[in-house]
Structure formats: C-alpha cells, structure tokens
Amino acid sequence: MKVLISDNLSPVGAEILREAGLEVDVNTGLAPEELKKIIGQYDGLVIRSATKVTLDILESATNLKVVGRAGIGLDNVDIPAASQKGIVIMNAPNGNAITTAEHAISMMMALSRNIPQATASMKEGKWEKKRFMGREVTGKTLGIVGIGRIGGIAASRAQGLKMKTIAYDPHMPKETAEKIGVELVGLEELAKRSDYITVHVPMTKETKALISTEFFKNMKNDAMFIDCARGGVCDEEALYHALRDGEIGGAALDVFAVEPTTRDNCPLLELDNFICTPHLGASTSEAQENVAVLIAQQIADYLLKGVVTNAVNVPSVSDDVLTQVGPYIALGEMLGSFHMQMTKGGIEEITVEYSGELAELNTSPITIAFLKGLFTPILKDAVNYVNAPIIAKDRGIKVVEAKSEHSDDFINVMTSRVRTSDGENVLVGTVFGKNEPRLVRLNTFRLEALPAGPMLLVYNNDVPGVIGALGTALGMGGVNISRMTVGREETSRQNIIVLATDSLVSKELLAKVCSLDNITDAVVLELAEYTS
C-alpha cells in the first residue's frame, strides 16, 4: 500500500511508515490539479495545513482509505465528503499542546521586558536603556480564557513563575479548575482582575469576537493581552483601538483573522506596544516531530491492522457493531452537540439511557459518539472518538450509562440527561426506519425534529401570531426556513419552535428574534449536516 506525504513533515514520519512496510512518496507543494492527477494511486495521505482536501480531490481519490493531519486543525479537509466516501480522517490533537502553551508564556515575557522593541532599537544602532523599562511577572495575575489542555499547561507554567492564575471557561466545572490551582471567574471579572490575559479556545460561533471592545475597556490600563489560539477570537479592530488609545498596556498575537498577515490587512503592525509572530505556536522541532510520529503510527496501524486512532469521523468499532448501532451513533453525536449548545453552566454529570431492543446491543460506541458531539462545539477538532471519554474524565464529569428493556413510545429510545451547575436538560431521540435519527423530546416538550445543520431553537408563549412574526423577522434577515417543528407543553401554555434554516442566524438577527413579543428566549444551534 502507498502513502503520500503532501506537506512538509519531519522525516521521522516517513521513516515510521516505511519501517511498517508501506511505500511512501514525499511530494510537497503540489497544486490542486497536480494532486488530483496522482491521488488515485494512494491508500493514505499525510497533510498539515497547506494541502486542501476538497470534494474535487476526494472524487479522484479512488483508493484513498485514510487522511492524517499532523496537528489539530482540519479546516482544510472536507470531512462530510470524506465520510461519504468511507475515508477515515485522523488528527494528532495533543502533539503540540506543550509547545503552544510555552509560546504564550514566551510572548508574555517578551511583552513584559520589551524584548522585540529593544532588539529592533539596538539593530538600528541605538542604546535606549531607559526607554525599555520592563516589569516582573512574579506575583501578578494571569487570566486564562479557556482552561482546557493547553490553557491548563499555560496555568502550570505561570504558577511556576509564582503567578496567580484565574480562568474563564463556562464549560469547566469549578472543582476541576480548583484541582489545578485555578480560580474560575466570569469573563468581565477576569478582564478587570488580570495583569496578563492569554487566550486558549478554538474558533467557534460561541468564541468568535469573544474578546472585543467591552472586554478591553474592562482591562487594567497597564494589563497585557496575548492570543496564541485562533484568529477571529479576538476582534483585531477593537484591539487596535485599545492599544492606540492607551486602554491597555500591550498585546501579542500569534494568530490573525487573515493569514498571511501584513501591514496592508493588519494595522496592529504599526503600533509600538504590539508584538507578533507568524503563527508559530506549534513551530518547534519537538512538536513537529511529535505530530509526525503520532500521525505516521496511526496511519500505519489503520492501513495494516485496521486499528482506528484519533479519528474525527468514525468510531473505533467493528463492522458488525457498526451495522447494528450505526444510525444511533449518528443520533448520539447529534444529541451531544445539541446539549452543549443549549446548556448553561459547567457540566457535572451525564446520564445516557438506552431503552427497548437497543438496550441489548453494544451501546458503548453511541455513548462515546454522544461525548464527542458534546465537546465538539467548544473544542472543535481537538476532540475525537478516542479522546472524548478522556476529556470528560479530565474535566471531572461523571458519565453514567444505563439500560432498560422497557420503552413506552418507540421500539428503541436514547435518553440523554446533562446536569450542570445551573440545572438539567433532557433530550430523547430515536431512529425512524433504518437510519432516520429524530429528536422526539426536549425536556417536557414533545416534538419530532431532525437535529442536523443550522437550526434555531425558540421558546415562546403559546399565543396566536408568534410563528408568523418569527417567519417575517427571519425572512427580512435573509434566512430561509427549511423545516419547522413545534413542541407544546399543555400545562404551562409554553411552546418551543425548532427551525432548520438554510444558513446560520447571526447574532444581530438573533437579538431581533429575542425582542419579538411573546418570545422568551432563542438559541442558535450549529449541528453537523446529516445525509442518510
């Protein structure tokens, strides 16, 4: 079997593949048309961020069985199209966590001691010792936005520097953060208390422009901001004004909304109190070797032994199990994603109950799929079918799986309960026919909805005119409704409306929806597309 390495990769990756008995070609810098011509020869493809694995490429990949990304991000891979063709997509989510956290700490130190500015000054022939007065980090407070794996490593490094650590993460239980010596606080409090702030969250609809004008206004005038996570989490225009107007002391970015980044598309580069690097967070020899080793081993194991590791689109189950529970795996992932996007507060406990004939089957892959779906909205490509249970354990989330032979309404039922510090939500799903997943209950509301694609969940009073007003508002906002389901609660005269939309409802349009008469709340949901 043949493997193509189409992006720059540490040589150890190719060595591991060859030692396993695979034929390896290293051919980097291919134009899309060139890759399209040769991809049909290969059983495996190893990429980083340069190669774009599009539908067009996949149509020509007649023998391709696996694509391995040496790193985390998979924005350059058409995962739904690959899944349709039965191609496994793998990544190496933990290979560069330490490197990225260390880069954030390096940026903090460089900001504190004006190292880039002083270097540039000396290279211009100057000796400006008084100009570049710095400050110590000992005893200062580091605020961490996102206290997952990378944020946790950053916290431990900061604690080693004798810094106080606080964090904002609405999905992390308080007790779990406290175990690593981090105090959980609200975003506004973090901005006000921190001397330094570092961001470690993926780019999602929840985190897009999370750090913007109001956040910077709440920061101390001498506080410093660091982002080595993802471009777009920080509103760069708001950061520019905060730095220019002296609202904050300094900033360091490794990631940008538009990359490559130049003076033409980023005015931040004109400011003296701003330092930057060209997306170097994962760029160390150790990290590049780590991800090369991990992805090469994973691809060799899959092609030669059928072992699936760190796959983002297929669970590690045998064909016979997949045949039995496959549609419920899809349902589980849908319900998990739905839960996270409607949930408030840190998750403490999850209960997944299987009823009817489903209880007699191996339901472990469904529970794992549920966990993957649960964490995907907040962790994106860093979660997969292998590490989802580990993430739940690391976050101190109790996961309970229960079974019951009795089912009231359907032959098979999957009931998922997610308890948080703010309460509990219940979603119940089933599969119609052979492979049609459906959400049939949301808390006390009964309904029938396909939980897939962009959606809008609306809570409203059960009075005439609400649906019409809602449709008008969405239409004026340029959003088309493709499906609608109404769930009713007789005792309270409350309804929920679940809308499938052709495009994602914007924050501005959501605000208009929430302001309509008799609508009490609305939530935008971004679920994976589903094709039977």
Q: Which residues of 395-433 are buried (b: 16+ CB within 10 A; e: fewer)?
A: bbbebeeeeeeebeebebbbbbbbbbeeeebebbbbbee
Distances (CA, A) of 327 to 161, 369, 435: 50, 11, 5
Cβ(352)–Cβ(370) below 8 Å: yes
- Cβ contacts of residue 262 below 8 Å, gap of 6+? 269
- DSSP assignment string, 48-99: -SSS-B-HHHHHH-TT--EEEESSS--TTB-HHHHHHTT-EEEE-TTTTHHH
Determine which one of 200, 279, 339, 438 is catalytic. 279
354: CB partners within 8 A, 6+ apart: 361, 363, 366, 401, 402, 403, 404, 412, 413, 414, 415
Which member of 259, 357, 424, 448 is catalytic?
A: 259
> Which segments of 114-212 does DSSP mark as H helices, in order?
115-123, 149-160, 174-179, 187-193
CA distance 95 to 288: 8
Nearest CA-CA partner of 66 in 50, 52, 79: 79
Closest by CA to 143, choosing from 201, 218, 193, 213, is: 193
Determine phi and psi for 213, rounding to 5 degrees: -55, -50
Q: Which amino acid is at 170?
A: P
Alpha carbons 136 and 85: distance in angstroms, whole number: 55
What is the spatial distance between Cα 153 and Cα 181, in angstroms, rounded to a whole number? 12
Angle at 58 between CA 377 and CA 454, to 5 degrees: 30
From residue 250, give the alpha-carbon distance in Å to each of 210, 370, 475.
Answer: 18, 41, 43
State whether residue 2 is helix, strand or coil: strand
For 465, phi then psi, to 5°, come to 95, -10
DSSP-derived 3-state class of residue 141: strand
Contact 340, 377 (CB under 8 A): yes
Q: In degrees rounded to 5, what are phi and psi of residue 406?
A: -90, 135
Q: Catalytic annotation on 259?
A: yes
Candidate list 103, 171, 193, 230, residue with the active-site label: 230
Report CA Rg, the chain: 25
Nearest to 524 by CA among 468, 465, 474: 474
Name the residues annotated as catalytic: 230, 259, 279
